[in-house]
Amino acid sequence: AQKITQTQPGMFVQEKEAVTLDCTYDTSDQSYGLFWYKQPSSGEMIFLIYQGSYDEQNATEGRYSLNFQKARKSANLVISASQLGDSAMYFCAMRSLGTASKLTFGTGTRLQVTL
């Protein structure tokens, strides 16, 4: 069975600072994908970044980077230079074959960016 754990229900960060949102996962599959989604207060789910289990380099997308440590089964999201618009819920998710190809989600971390 797959499982995603996000241990930080809420986080605060000051504007322009960097923040790390934690995500650990558990799976017996060798091939899987790890995803981060942002859910602002308006409710939509916005795809941020993807990391494949066989990718040797950490993924980056603009101010987002994924700190992938395969041996520790962690896939932390790093947001650099936080902006007020980054305030939202952030979900870590995993996808692999053999599980209806579904995304397995964590319970999310609510990030609040302050002045």
Contacting positions for other proteins (CB under 8 A)? 4, 29, 31-33, 35, 37, 43-47, 50, 52-53, 91, 93, 95-97, 100-103, 105-108
Residue 52 CA to residue 68 CA, distance in Å, equals 9
Question: For residue 84, what are the contacts with CB-CB under 8 A and spacing of at least 6?
Answer: 15, 113, 115
- In whole angstroms, what is the distance from residue 87 CA to residue 63 CA? 14
Q: Judged by CB, which is closer to other proteins: 57, or 101?
A: 101
Report the nearest approach of other proteins to the CB of residue 14 (Å).
Answer: 28
Q: Measured from the CB atom, is 76 or 104 closer to other proteins?
A: 104
